[in-house]
Structures are given as C-alpha cells and as structure tokens.
DNA sequence: TGAATAGTGTCTTTAAGACATTATAGT
DNA sequence: ACTATAATGTCTTAAAGACACTATTCA
C-alpha cells in the first residue's frame, strides 16, 4: 500500500533501553522507578519519546546519556574511549501495550563497563542496577515478588530479549569487551562470560581460546595488575568484531 | 521520560517486507513498482500502514497475504503447511527517509518456497521476483542501472540487511527449509544453501552434515523424486530450530 | 608456607575438509 | 555405454574439552 500522508493512524514512537553491565560477577540491568501513572512506583526500563527531528539511534543515545552519562562508543575510533556499545534490539507495538494510547517502542540494547552509580533522569524517582536474574524472576518459586513485582508495560519481555541477544552475541563477536574497562585481563574477560552466561568456564581453555583468536585481544604493554594471585597481562580489545571460530557456550 | 499522551510528535508507522525465495538457483526478492509519488515508477519493497488495532507482526502478515497469498507458517504446527517464515528484521526511522512526513518503518523478513507468480497488490502497477544480486547492484561497474535504478526510499539498505540476516541465520538454524516445499531432497536443500550464500558446497560433506544433525531432517517415507540421476530420499523439516553444531559458511 | 590467580602444555575426542567409490536413474 | 545425481566411506587436520604442571603474588 502507498501512503496517504493525510490519513494515518496516530502513533507515538518511543525508545526503550536495555542497559546491561556486569557488577559483582552478576549481569545487571538499569531500571528506573516510574513517577507517574500507569504503573506508578514500578520499575521500568529507561526510555522516552523520539523527537521530531531525531534519528532512532540518536534518540537512544540521548536517553543513554541522560540516564547514565555514558557516551556511545564509536566503533571506528581506535582510541579506547570509555563509551558503551549501542545497537537496535527490536520494536514492540502491541496495540494494548500502553493503556493510554498507541505507542510503538523501538528497544535498544546497550552494553557498558561497570559504572560508579546510576544517576536518575529528571523524571524518575530513582534508578538502580538490578541483577537480571531477579528482574526476570527466573528464581521460579517463592521469592519472585521481592522487589515491587514485575517491570512496567512489556518491559520484562523486552529485557528478556535483550539479555538473550547479549548472551548469544558474545559467542560470535568481540562484544564481551564492551563490559570491560579499556584495559583488562584475560581473567576479567572470563568472568564477564561467566556472569553473562551463568556458567563456569575452564580458565586454561579460555585463555588459550581468546589469546589464540586473531584480532580479539592485543597486549596493552602494561604487564600487570592485581586481583590477588600472580600479576596478569593487560589487554585491549583488538580490531576484530566477528570471532572466528566463535566462543562456544557450554551445556548443549 | 514519562509520556505526555497529549503532546507527542506525529509519526506514521508502516511495515515493509523483505520477501525472499530461491528461484532458478538464485536468491530473489519480491519488489513492487510504485504507482505514485515519490519515487513513482521505481521498484520498492512491499509494505503499508499499520492499522490502529493491529499488531506489528499482524500487519506484516496481512501485507504478505495481500502481496503473495502466502500464509504465515505456525512454528508450533506439526503439519507441513506451505506457509512462509516471518520475523521482524529492524526498524528504520531516519527523519528524512520519506520526503513527505515522518515515517517509521518496521521491516520484516519473510522466507518462502518458490512460488508460481507474484500477484500485484491493489496499489502497485506490477510485482516481480528479482535476484538480490541485481537489486543490490553488487555487480560493481557497468550495468548497475539495468532496471530503473535503485530501490525507492531506503529500501536498498533494508533489503541488504534482510539478505544478510537470512545468510547468517541459515548457519545456525533450520531456516533454510523455509525455502523448500514441504518435502524435499538433500540436494534441493544444498542448492538452497548454495544460492543464498553464493558458494559451491561439497555434496558429500553436506549430506553427512545435514543428515547427522539431530532434528534437522526427518525421512518423509516416500523415497524418491527426480532431478536427473539416481532417485533421492525425501525429507521434511525436523523439529529442531537451532542447529548444533551449526552449518559453516565457507571462505573465511 | 599456604592460598589464590596466571600462564603453558598434553592427551583425547569431535567434527570439518578433501577426497574415492558405489548405486540408480535417464538418454 | 554414457552421464548425472545420490549415498556411503576413508583419511587428514583443526579445534574443543579435560586434565597436569609451573609461575608469581599476597597474607
């Protein structure tokens, strides 16, 4: 169908953000408390309207800065800026997803290194990092309700989709480094994989794998840091974005 | 930001479809000729407005039926219906992508077996299957202009994204069977892979791989068909959706 | 000294890639 | 007989998984 520009149903278009980081060996997502109806007082993913002159990715990047102060990492920049990775996730447009009106939300996925503390946006009462395991209630039985219940709107589904995207994408890309500071050790990178996948990995096979994959890691010169135990070499993310062969998630 | 339902920028939301099939050993996409401005007379991807009470996937499925007569395959149905695979691809919302107004398009990817002939929708002068190689102008030099130039709007980009999605997804999923009729031979499935990837595969290793992957193919009882040469066994798509280990695309 | 982590090496198993060979149809 | 495709088998090589062992720091 061609468009009739004068007669189209009225839509609002928003962006919602699944911002993931690894804190204390757990995969965590940024959630903000809603200050208004509907779902007042419930936790929700950060997000907001797309402005009239704004690109979708631009709107997501703007929201990310407003909520976290994070700049978006330029994939073509050689400098190890402390920016986050940002990509479009999926679009959610069920007619009843917002009780007030027809809202289509273009969800984005952001991966960031561990941050000091979330700064609440102007409109949210508060913001925090919460383990995705808690938010998704994969505990199963008793204590699923432990933190004011489910996320607002369809945000539990959006979060689940974002987490699954992150889990599968670190298999065949170098995206796991987006969870690390500019310089990191092999052990830190391994703990990222373990936190995101929720499994234990063999440190020796992991070391062989990541250092043997061309373009994944480059030595950062500086040779040591501490985490307890023998000092480890520091690395930066290499130029490769696609890993070949890929990292393999155990338990298949 | 919370929404102010009374003050939001006016958006139109559409769905565009990348419908792919394999004909005569070439990956082809469905394109329709535009009957109106802008880009009048140019080829474009089929698509149209999302209606007020309609889900995004529902809108895409409706457009698919209107343009091709194809029903959407129910992934949970055991019956080998002749339906197509449909999934959301990505959303395109550059403020200038439509010169008339702000249009956000939720692109979908559909994979279908070879069809008799495209039926033009009510609003398009005509519709046809065109090799994606031609549409994307990957020929490089001389004869890129051979068919009224580029696609309308940003549809060349959308098509390229859809093709890349299909190419990568048949690696680790059983989606290639969506290009085949309900019953097919190993050779036919191999020619699908060869057409989508544009490479030649070793028939012997391919046969061992697909028949050895659990849940990928199940014998259809009926044991033969012709394509010249010795009769081949007929198979149906098995229950597996994710292939483990995956098919590997050569030339890395 | 003991505990903790880093880094390297070895062996086995799985599976991909490169072939050869036989089987069954049409012409 | 000749050709085309189907189906199975063998050998080699790459890489994952399961370990053992040494190195270097801190408490």
Quick one: three-class SS letters along chain A? CCCCCCCCCCEEEEEEEEEEEEECCEEEEEEEECCCCCCCCCEECCEEECCCCCCHHHHHHHHHHHHHCCCECCCCCCCCCCCEEEEEEEEECCCCCCCCCCEEEEEEEEECCCCCCCCCCCCCCCEEEEEHHHHCCCCCCHHHHCCCCCCCCCHHHHHHHHHHHHHHHHHHECHHHHHCCCCECHHHHHHHHHHHHCCCCCHHHHHHHHHHCCCCEEECCCCCCCCCCCCCCCEEECCCCECCCCCCCCCC
What per-residue confidence (pLDDT) applies to B68? Answer: 86
Distance A22 CA to D25 C1' (A): 26
**Does the pLDDT at position A124 exceed 50?**
no
Q: Does B90 touch chain A (CB under 8 A)?
A: yes
B98 near B6, Cβ under 8 Å? no
Q: Indicate whether A29 and A154 sit together in one domain.
A: yes
Q: Please report residues contacting nucleic strand D, using a CB cutoff of 7 A.
A: A 202, 204-205, 209, 224, 226, 228-231, 245-246, 248, 250; B 185-188, 203-205, 207-208, 211, 227-233
Nearest to A158 by CA among A113, A217, A223, A110: A110
Closest residue in A to B17 (Cα–Cα):
A1
* B9, B34, B98 ranked by CB distance to A52: nearest: B9
Could you say which of B151, B171, B191 is where a domain stops? B171
Per-residue CA distances from A182 to A189, B70, B244 (Å)? 12, 50, 34
Structure tokens at A102: 């027809």
Residue at which a domain ends, from B149, B171, B193: B171
Q: Indicate if A32 and A80 belong to the same structural domain.
A: yes
Q: Distance (Å, rounded) from C-alpha A159 to C-alpha A164?
A: 9
Nearest residue for C20, CA–C1': B204
Kindly state the DSSP code that residue B170 receives in the 8-state scheme: H
Largest CA distance in chain B: 69
Identify the domain boundary among B144, B171, B198.
Answer: B171
Nearest residue of A to residue B2 by CA position? A48
SS3 (DSSP) at B22: strand
Residue A244 lies in a domain: no
Of the candidates A2, A5, A93, which has its C-beta nearest B106's C-beta?
Answer: A93
Say yes or no to pLDDT of A83 above 70.
yes
Query: How many other CB atoms are there within 10 angstroms of residue A1's CB atom?
Result: 18
| Cβ within 8 Å, pair A123-B94 | no
Cβ neighbourhood burial of A183 (10 Å; 0-12, 13-18, 19+): middle
Same domain, B179 and B229: yes
Task: Find the CATH number of the domain harbouring A71.
Answer: 3.90.79.10
Q: Distance, angstroms, CA A208 to C1' C10? A: 13
Query: Do B221 and B104 reside in the same domain of the chain?
Result: no
> Residues of A with CB below 8 A from B88's CB?
90-91
In degrees rounded to 5, what are phi and psi of residue B86? -135, 130
Q: Indicate if A32 and A153 belong to the same structural domain.
A: yes
With the C-alpha atoms ordered A119, A124, A126, A130, is the resulting torsion angle positive or negative? Answer: negative
Residues constituting chain B: 252
How far apart (Å, rounded) are the C-alpha atoms in residues B78 and A38?
A: 41
Percentage of chain A modeled with pLDDT above 90: 72
Write the residue in A3, A9, A91 that is nearest to B103 by C-beta.
A3
Residues B205 and B134 in one domain: no
For residue B230, the domain's CATH number is: 1.10.10.10
Nearest residue, CB atoms, A2 vs list B34, B63, B106: B34
User: Taking CB atoms and an 8 Å limit, are A5 and B101 in contact across chains?
Assistant: yes
Beta strand pairing call for A103-111 and A12-23: parallel
The verdict on A166 and A70 lying in the same domain is yes
Q: Do A13 and B252 touch (CB under 8 A)?
A: no
- Determine whether the interchain pair A106/B104 forms a contact, defined as Cβ–Cβ distance below 8 Å: yes
Q: What confidence score (pLDDT) does residue B73 get? A: 75
> Is A14 at the interface with chain B, CB within 8 A?
yes
Residues in chain A: 252
Q: Please tell me whether residues A151 and A199 are part of one structural domain.
A: no
Answer yes or no: is A215 within a domain: yes
A225: nt with nearest C1' to CA:
D25
pLDDT tier for residue A227 given thresholds of 50, 70 and 90? confident
Confidence label for A75 from pLDDT (cuts 50, 70 and 90) = low
pLDDT at residue A142 in the model: 47
Residue B162 lies in a domain: yes
DSSP state of B177: G
pLDDT-based confidence at A80, cuts 50/70/90? Answer: low
The single residue listed with the structure tokens 């809603």 is: A34
Sign, CA dihedral B146-B151-B157-B162, equals negative
Asked if residue A7 is part of any domain, the answer here is: no
Q: Facing residues of B107 across strands? A: B16, B90
Average pLDDT over residues A200-224: 94
CB A20 within 8 A of CB A163: yes
Domain presence at residue A161: yes
The confidence score (pLDDT) of residue A123 equals 47
pLDDT value for B231: 95
> Are the beta carbons of A12 and B12 separated by less than 8 Å?
no
**Are residues B134 and B220 both part of a single domain?**
no
Where in the sequence is the domain holding B197, given as residue range(s)? Answer: 175-237
Query: What number is the average pLDDT over the span A102-123?
Result: 81
| Contacts A47 to B, Cβ<8 Å | 1
Token couple for B123: 């609003």
Structural domain includes residue B243: no
Of B48, B179, B202, B39, nearest to B122 (Cα)?
B48
B111 and B64 in a common domain: yes
Residue A211: is its pLDDT beyond 50?
Answer: yes
DSSP B99: S
Domain shared by B148 and B191, yes or no:
no
Using CA atoms, how far apart are residues B243 and B205, in angstroms rounded to an integer? 16
Quote the crossing angle between the two packed helices B186-197 and B203-212, to the nearest 10°: 110
Please, which positions of strand D sit below 7 A from a protein CB? 3-10, 15-21, 23-26
Instruction: Give the pLDDT score at B168.
Output: 96
> Could B88 and A93 be called an inter-chain contact, meaning their C-beta atoms sit closer than 8 Å?
no
Number of compact structural domains in chain B: 2
Contact call for residues A80 and A180 (beta carbons, < 8 A) = no
- Chain A residues whose CB is inside 8 A of the B92 CB are 56
Out of B2, B106, B244, name the one closest to residue A34 (CB): B2
Does B102 reach chain A within 8 Å, measured CB to CB?
A: yes
Same-domain check for residues A107 and A136: yes
Residue A246 within any structural domain of the chain? no
**Protein residues with Cβ atoms closer than 7 angstroms to any atom of nucleic acid strand C:** A 185-188, 203-205, 207-208, 211, 227-233; B 202, 204-205, 209, 212, 224, 226, 228-231, 245-246, 248, 250
The single-letter DSSP state of residue B69 is -
Contact B3 A12 (CB under 8 A): yes
Contact A50 B98 (CB under 8 A): no
Spans of chain B below 70 pLDDT: 1-7, 74-82, 116-125, 138-148, 252
Kindly indicate the confidence band of residue A144, based on its pLDDT and cuts at 50, 70 and 90.
Answer: very low
Residue B134 falls inside a structural domain:
yes
């Amino acid at each position: 169908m061609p468009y009739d520009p004068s007669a189209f149903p009225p839509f609002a278009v928003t962006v919602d953000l699944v911002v993931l980081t690894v804190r204390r060996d757990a995969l965590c997502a940024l959630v903000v408390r809603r200050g208004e109806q509907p779902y007042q007082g419930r936790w929700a993913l950060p997000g907001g309207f797309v402005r009239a002159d704004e690109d979708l990715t631009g709107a997501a990047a703007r929201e990310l800065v407003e909520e976290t102060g994070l700049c978006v990492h330029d994939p073509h920049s050689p400098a190890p800026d402390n920016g986050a990775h940002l990509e479009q996730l999926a679009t959610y447009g069920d007619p009843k997803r917002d009780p007030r009106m027809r809202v289509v939300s273009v969800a984005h996925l952001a991966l960031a290194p561990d941050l000091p503390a979330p700064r609440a946006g102007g409109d949210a009462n508060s913001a925090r990092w919460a383990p995705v395991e808690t938010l998704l209630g994969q505990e199963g039985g008793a204590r699923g309700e432990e933190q004011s219940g489910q996320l607002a709107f369809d945000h539990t589904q959006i979060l689940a989709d974002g987490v699954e995207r992150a889990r599968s994408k670190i298999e065949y890309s170098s995206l796991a480094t987006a969870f690390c500071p500019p310089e990191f050790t092999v052990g830190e990178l391994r703990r990222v994989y373990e936190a995101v996948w929720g499994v234990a990995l063999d440190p020796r096979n992991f070391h062989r794998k990541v250092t043997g994959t061309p373009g994944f890691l480059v030595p950062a010169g500086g040779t040591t840091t501490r985490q307890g135990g023998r000092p480890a070499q520091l690395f930066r993310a290499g130029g490769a974005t696609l890993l070949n062969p890929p990292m393999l998630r155990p338990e298949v």
